[in-house]
Amino acid sequence: MEFPLRAIVSVSDKTGLAPFVQGLAQAGVEIFSTGGTKNSLEDAAVPVRSISDITGFPEILDGRVKTLHPKVHGGILALRSDPEHMRVLTEHGIQPVDIVVANLYPFVQTVNKAGITLKEAVENIDIGGPSLIRSAAKNCVSVVVVVDAADYDRVLEQVRTGGVSLEDRRALAQKAFQHTALYDTAIATYLRGADDPLTKEFTIGLTQVQGMKYGENPHQKSAFYREVLAPKGGMAFATQLHGPELSHNNFLDADAAWSAVNDFPEQSVAIIKHTNPCGLATHADLAEAYRRALAGDPVSAYGGIAAFNRKVTNAAMDDITKTHYDIILAPNFDPAALERMKRKKNLHVLQVPPRPEGSVPLDYRRVTGGMLVQTTDILAENPTSWKTVTQRGPTEAALADLAFAWRVVKHVKSNAIVLAKDRALTGIGAGQPNRVTSVHLALRTSGANAKGTVLASDAFFPFPDGVEMAAEAGITAIAQPGGSIRDDEVIAAANKANIAMVFTGIRHFRH
């Protein structure tokens, strides 16, 4: 880099700015700035000139137009190695700009505030800043662009010692384009709204929350990201209160546990192993809800995740501490309960906020070379509207258990079968290539407890064999979507066994 150098500084976040720019000035860099940034630098006694000294034009439209000028962007974009470019600069009295320091209006912070209007949101859409950043990043062969305060010290040191290397300028340009891409994604996400989320063109904006030692397996790399403008609930906003660093698989299992337990309006406890519920129950007394959840599969619960959708009480800890868990999560904890959990060195304790009322986040699934995007499986269903298709309908108690089982089954991998009694999970069959195998596994898990339970199936029974197997175990009622070409045979099998069966008309595949 040849001196004297020129820098344009225009930032919203002024963290660490004054000492950085003071250092640039002391290294012989001439500083030009705009509006509030210029005032801030002057207050810190940093020598700075107005951007109007470059443009020969005042800031107008309440600061909407400051840097959008040929003498700014010409100075940034000109190729120093191109004689014609340099001739044009000379002809028009334009000086090259060598360093651009910029970050953007706080759009995300603004729209995350309650009650923000469209007018207020639009006023926080930066135009000049992204233009400066993109111009500088495009010409990174000649121009240094800095959008992150974390890079100030490294850039200043290199300027002082002769110049920023091409390798570093390229890395800074990559960060700059990512910065503006995330910003544009946040704006598009906000303007898109919830009514029509699946637009023709779609970008996902993510910011890294933390890196991890490895991914699903030790040979895979992994990091955890938060989606821009994500609803403030769930694992993206979890606070770890105790325990070692979470792993990739910890995040997957914890999210499955949180999703399952928060799908229930009643006080509930879910126990998850490898993203499938192995125990789930609702009860007015938290300790009893936990005991019933654990009874669903106490063997599989070992080393799993226990999730609560209400505050964890100290009274419930007498039972909870008897089983080893990797993670316990809840919206909050009694101080005494939390203190008892902290006695277990390797236990992860997470405070996870519930999903905001009315939010329906999008679900992303990676496929080779692309992405599937859908709305999350959140649906208000009324069990009293289900169609009874057998000679005998479910009792009031059985219908309540069917409603519980039906809510559980959508959190179990397809083909999914759930058995329940007294609003507690007693057995599951998950992820099998055929449904009858899932019935077999659910019955085997439940054992003698299967008698008198109800059964929910996430999709229709293609053959009567699953119903016949359930009948032999003493199942009293079944909820399933219906819609098979053999529905008549399946209903006949239920009638023969005196099982009540309802068709929900809805399926809940979870692949």
Task: Check pLDDT > 50 for residue 383.
Answer: yes
Q: Give the number of other Cβ atoms within 10 Å of residue 375's Cβ.
A: 13
Residues 264-307 have pLDDT tens digits of 999 999 999 999 999 999 999 999 999 999 999 999 999 999 99
Domain edges within the chain:
5-192, 232-351, 382-503
The average confidence (pLDDT) of the chain is 91
pLDDT of residue 342: 95
Residue 14 appears among annotated catalytic residues:
no
Task: Give 59's pLDDT tier (boundaries 50, 70, 90).
Answer: confident
Give the Cα separation of 437 and 377 in Å (integer): 25
**Could you give the 3-state DSSP secondary structure of residue 362?**
strand
pLDDT of residue 2: 55
Percent of the chain with pLDDT over 70: 98
232-351 and 5-192 share a CATH fold? no
Give the Cα separation of 266 and 86 in Å (integer): 71
Annotated catalytic residue, options 138, 175, 311, 344: 138
CB 296 within 8 A of CB 424: yes
Task: Check pLDDT > 50 for residue 471.
Answer: yes
Non-local CB neighbours of 195 within 8 Å, separated by 6+ positions: none
Q: What average pLDDT does the segment 49-58 reach?
A: 82
Task: Give 63's pLDDT tier (boundaries 50, 70, 90).
Answer: low
Residue 274 appears among annotated catalytic residues:
yes
The domain made up of 5-192 has a fold known as Rossmann fold (3.40.50)
Residues 72-112 have pLDDT tens digits of 889 999 988 889 998 998 899 889 999 999 998 888 888 88
DSSP letter for each residue of 427-443:
EEE-S-SSHHHHHHHHH
Task: Give 3's pLDDT tier (boundaries 50, 70, 90).
Answer: very low
Give the Cα separation of 72 and 133 in Å (integer): 12
Q: Which residues pair with 227 in a beta bridge?
A: 206
Q: Which residue has the higher pLDDT, 356 or 188?
A: 188
Residues 179-192 have pLDDT tens digits of 999 999 999 988 88
Q: Which residue has the higher pLDDT, 41 or 60?
A: 41
Q: Show the tokens assigned to 147.
A: 């959008």
pLDDT of residue 17: 94
pLDDT of residue 111: 87
Weakest-pLDDT range from 45-59, 209-223, 293-307: 45-59
**Could you give the 3-state DSSP secondary structure of residue 467?**
helix
Q: Is 27 exposed, middle or buried (0-12, 13-18, 19+ CB in 10 A)?
A: middle
Annotated catalytic residue, options 14, 85, 274, 311: 274
Residues 392-402 have pLDDT tens digits of 999 999 999 99
Residues 108-137 have pLDDT tens digits of 888 888 888 998 888 888 888 899 999 999
CB 247 within 8 A of CB 220: no
- Quote the DSSP letter at residue 237: G
Non-local CB neighbours of 223 within 8 Å, separated by 6+ positions: 208, 210, 211, 212
pLDDT of residue 67: 73
Percent of the chain with pLDDT over 90: 70
Pick the CATH number of 382-503 from 2.60.40.420, 3.30.70.3270, 3.40.140.20, 3.40.50.2000: 3.40.140.20
474-511 burial by CB neighbour count: b if 16+ within 10 A, else e? ebbbbbbbbebeebebbbebbbebebbbbbbeebbebe
pLDDT of residue 479: 97
| Alpha-carbon distances of 69 from 51, 72, 75, 132, 151, rounded to whole Å | 10, 5, 10, 10, 27
pLDDT of residue 419: 97
Residues 149-179 have pLDDT tens digits of 999 999 999 999 988 999 999 999 999 999 9
The domain made up of 232-351 has a fold known as Cytidine Deaminase; domain 2 (3.40.140)
395 φ, ψ (degrees, to nearest 5): -70, 170
pLDDT of residue 375: 85
